[in-house]
Structure 1
Amino acid sequence: MSELVVLVTGASSGFGRLTAEALARRGHTVFAGLRDVAGRNAQAAAELNGSLRVVELDVTDQDSADRAVSEIIATAGRIDVVVNNAGGIFPGPLEAFTAEEAQRQFDVNVLGALRVNRAVLPHLRDRRRGLLIQIGSLAGLVTTPFTGLYAASKAALESLTVAWRHELAPFGIESVIVDAASYPTNIGLNAALPADTERLGVYAEAFGAFTNAIVERAAESGGDPGEVADAVVKLIESDDRPPRTVVAPAGQYEPAQALSRASAEAAERVGAAMGVAAFMTH
Structure 2
Amino acid sequence: MSDSTVLVTGTSTGFGRLTVEALARRGHQVFAGLRDVTGRNERAAAELTALAAAEGLRLRVVEIDVTDQDSVERAVREVTEAAGRLDVVVNNAGMNFAGPVEAYTAAEAHRQFDVNTLGALRVNNAALPYLRAQGHGALIQVGSLAGWLTPPFNGLYAASKAALRSLTEAWHHELAPYGIEAVILDAAAYPTNIGANAAMPADQQRMALYGETMTRFVTDLVARTTAGAATIGEASQVSDALVALVETPHGKRPLQTLVAPPAQYAAVHALQEQANAAARIVADDMGIGAYLAAR
- Would you say same fold, with TM above 0.5? yes
Residue number among 253, 261, 269 corresponding to 2:281 in the alignment: 269
1:223 maps to 2:270: no
Residue 260 of structure 1 aligns with an amino acid whose one-letter code is Q
Q: CA deviation at 1:2?
A: 4.0
The question of whether the paired residues in 2 share the 8 Å contact of 1:5 and 1:80 is answered with yes
Paired residue total: 282
Give the match for residue 157 of structure 1. 164
Give the match for residue 248 of structure 1. 260
Q: CA deviation at 1:218?
A: 2.2
Q: CA deviation at 1:144?
A: 1.6
Residue 108 of structure 2 aligns with an amino acid whose one-letter code is E
SS at 2:81's partner residue? helix
1:104 maps to 2:115: no
Unaligned ranges ≥5, structure 1: none
The question of whether the paired residues in 2 share the 8 Å contact of 1:92 and 1:147 is answered with yes
Give the match for residue 260 of structure 1. 272
2-structure distance, mates of 1:112, 1:163: 16
Higher mean C-alpha displacement, 89-98 vs 249-258: 249-258
The question of whether the paired residues in 1 share the 8 Å contact of 2:36 and 2:42 is answered with yes
2-structure distance, mates of 1:208, 1:246: 30
1-structure distance, mates of 2:289, 2:240: 33
1-structure distance, mates of 2:219, 2:127: 41
Q: CA deviation at 1:115?
A: 0.3
The question of whether the paired residues in 2 share the 8 Å contact of 1:246 and 1:260 is answered with no
The 5-angstrom pairing of residues 109-120 of structure 1 reads 109-120=116-127
Normalising by structure 1, what TM-score? Answer: 0.97
Q: CA RMSD in A?
A: 1.1
Residue 241 of structure 1 aligns with an amino acid whose one-letter code is K
2-structure distance, mates of 1:24, 1:214: 35
The 5-angstrom pairing of residues 33-52 of structure 1 reads 33-49=33-49, 50=52, 51=57, 52=59
The question of whether the paired residues in 2 share the 8 Å contact of 1:183 and 1:218 is answered with no
The question of whether the paired residues in 2 share the 8 Å contact of 1:162 and 1:175 is answered with yes
Give the match for residue 244 of structure 2. 234
Q: CA deviation at 1:265?
A: 1.5
Residue 16 of structure 2 aligns with an amino acid whose one-letter code is G
Unaligned ranges ≥5, structure 2: none
Normalising by structure 2, what TM-score? Answer: 0.93
Residue 275 of structure 1 aligns with an amino acid whose one-letter code is G
The 5-angstrom pairing of residues 98-177 of structure 1 reads 98-177=105-184
Q: CA deviation at 1:253?
A: 1.8
The question of whether the paired residues in 2 share the 8 Å contact of 1:6 and 1:83 is answered with yes
The question of whether the paired residues in 2 share the 8 Å contact of 1:106 and 1:153 is answered with yes
Higher mean C-alpha displacement, 20-29 vs 80-89: 20-29
1:183 maps to 2:190: yes
SS at 1:194's partner residue? coil
Higher mean C-alpha displacement, 253-262 vs 42-51: 253-262
The 5-angstrom pairing of residues 195-206 of structure 1 reads 195-206=202-213
2-structure distance, mates of 1:132, 1:196: 37
1-structure distance, mates of 2:30, 2:215: 40
Q: CA deviation at 1:216?
A: 2.2
Residue number among 39, 58, 70 corresponding to 1:63 in the alignment: 70
Q: CA deviation at 1:110?
A: 0.3
Deviations 1:230-267 (A, max 9, x none): 11111111225211100012332211221222221211
1-structure distance, mates of 2:200, 2:289: 42
Deviations 1:57-103 (A, max 9, x none): 00000000000000011101000000000001101111100000000
